[in-house]
Structure 1
């Protein structure tokens, strides 16, 4: 087996073991979207009427509308949680060991992204299964078709977390930065309400939501769940992924940080 494959398996296995040993992390990842789905959606159902918009062919309940957005929420929070683990690894010294390995730095960071994305996808499918148990279902083939969309969204949000971790030096500073990123991205998106609703309130907010990369990740998931394809959302998500990844690689450049510099 090549060193690249060996390192990929080892890092993904390490991320999986860390996740398994942190059961409260798995529970917390599901509690947040379930509270929105079962509690907040019940209150917003009457206030937020929905028209027939793509990819839906008929009127839907508000609970059905927000499921893709809540899938995106899971991936967003997990991406930030992954960046927290990177900051912790850097403080403990294990990150330096990884970055001083003979393999290229970009490959080591890519393996971390793959591990984070795999965990996110597992959490999303668990949430979709719980939602189906409450009667909120999608087309059967949609659960398969959504996998590529989840991979793109997971890598994009994981790359964002990777970028943040390259600039956060201490765990104490992480909570403030995390909230500064997560909540604007989540609420200024189409996760909880369609963009046309936002346009009725403010054109400026509508523009901000339309430019938000998280909006396009959510729409990519939404269309895939209903066996439809959103080319614009895919392009914007891939562009955001590329920008976040390049910026993260620059952030972990040893010439800038001295982290893992070979002597």
Structure 2
């Protein structure tokens, strides 16, 4: 157990040092959601009407509605950003050194995933603090209750990025794949508008949004911020996290596609 713990601490420390040395990464992670919150929300507020839907007990502002979705945005972008660093490490050779260590490969990748998720959660709390200063405050208990939801959602989205990185050969190709995954996942979800609004426009779009794992991650965060549990969102997010993690571990295994390409 000492060896496993040492590997965990070392990898998380490496992720933290990389994050500290890339201050622009922290700023960029906050700029995206803040632009949506402070700029785009002002325009959407007049165009989109909101009804009283769980977990809300009364009418809310549009800015309040999109905060959970923007928390999910931070987790989504950072999950992909962390996977980008994996591809860079693989091209530089440090990834091969990591995977040939005495520790099991699944544990090393899990440590990498945990480290990236921890950093993402810190950025989410920084965003929630700025939102509170802007006047968008959640129940006090919600800031604590949301932590498990952020962990589960962060692991799910980080595992998705890990899966993508196992099948991408070159660093240059990852940007296109990121855009192909990130934007459909974000916009075809309940992050910016409730699902009943999508149903008014198109039943097909509603069904796609309902099947999107990111939708369930956002709803898990939304309910947790109000001290509630959404069993459906929790179940689907956990299921997606397990599926993505299993596929990613297979992709980085000796039998998987990703390792054979770079061996």
Greater mean alpha carbon deviation, residues 245-254 or residues 61-70 = 245-254
Q: Report what 1:201 is aligned to.
A: 201
Q: Distance in 2 between matches of 1:107 and 1:56?
A: 40
Q: Distance in 1 between matches of 2:185 and 2:260?
A: 31
Contact 2:7-2:108 at 8 Å conserved across structures: yes
Q: Report what 1:23 is aligned to.
A: 23
Q: How far does residue 260 in structure 1 lie from its aligned partner after superposition? A: 8.8
Alpha carbons of structure 1 residues 258 and 47: separation in structure 2 relative to 1, 3 Å: closer
**Superposition map of 1:146-225 within 5 A:** 146-225=146-225
Matched, 1:102 2:102: yes
Q: Report what 1:229 is aligned to.
A: 229
Q: Distance in 2 between matches of 1:30 and 1:258?
A: 31
Count matched residues.
262
Q: Report what 2:43 is aligned to.
A: 43
**Per the alignment, in what secondary structure is the counterpart of residue 47 of structure 2?**
coil
Contact 1:69-1:218 at 8 Å conserved across structures: yes
TM-score normalized by the length of structure 1: 0.98
Q: How far does residue 256 in structure 1 lie from its aligned partner after superposition? A: 3.3
Q: How far does residue 258 in structure 1 lie from its aligned partner after superposition? A: 7.7
Contact 1:52-1:58 at 8 Å conserved across structures: yes
Contact 2:189-2:212 at 8 Å conserved across structures: yes
Matched, 1:3 2:3: yes
1:156-187 Cα distance to aligned partner (Å, 9 max, x none): 00000000000111011011000000000000
Contact 2:166-2:259 at 8 Å conserved across structures: no
**Per the alignment, in what secondary structure is the counterpart of residue 190 of structure 1?**
coil
Contact 1:99-1:105 at 8 Å conserved across structures: yes
Contact 2:251-2:258 at 8 Å conserved across structures: no
Runs (4 or more) in structure 1 with deviation over 2 Å come to 255-261
Q: Distance in 1 between matches of 2:204 and 2:242?
A: 26
Structure 1 residue runs without a partner (length 5+):
none
1:2-49 Cα distance to aligned partner (Å, 9 max, x none): 100000000000000000000000000000000000000000001101
Q: How far does residue 250 in structure 1 lie from its aligned partner after superposition? A: 1.0
User: What is the CA RMSD across the aligned residues, in angstroms?
Assistant: 1.4
Structure 2 residue runs without a partner (length 5+):
none
Q: How far does residue 257 in structure 1 lie from its aligned partner after superposition? A: 4.4
**Superposition map of 1:51-200 within 5 A:** 51-200=51-200
